[in-house]
Amino acid sequence: MSSIHMLCLDGDCNIANARALHRDLRDAFDRGAAVTVDCRGVERADVSLLQLLLSSQTTFFNRGLDFRIVDPAGVVGLLATRGGFRFDAVAGHIF
């Protein structure tokens, strides 16, 4: 049974700090941990966050690991909508 790794994002989530988030996600993936990303604290974001979440979601799913995004209302939800994506709140996925 895999563990669950909770990532709580806050403040600015942009290209300047994408490397740190990528590292956290990669570490969880390498451990075989499911991931839940809580977006409620995000104040500002750019497309790098959306790209990272979408690619991580695909990578985790391909390995059979759960990847959920919770509470993307606000900044992250608006960014996804503007990018032509939609969020399934029940499943916790962007597509």
Looking at residue 84, its pLDDT comes to 87
C-alpha distances in Å from residue 80, one per residue of 17, 34, 63: 19, 22, 24
Name every residue whose Cβ is closer than 8 Å to that of residue 12 and which is 6 or more positions away in sequence.
43, 44, 45
Tens digit of pLDDT at every position of the chain (95 positions)? 468 899 999 999 999 999 999 999 999 999 999 999 999 999 999 999 999 999 999 999 999 999 999 887 788 888 888 888 877 766 677 77
CATH code: domain 4-94 is 3.30.750.24
In this prediction, residue 2 carries a pLDDT of: 62
CB 71 within 8 A of CB 41: no
pLDDT given at position 28: 94
How far the first Cα of the chain sits from its last, in Å, is 27
CA–CA–CA angle 89, 55, 26 (5° rounding):
105
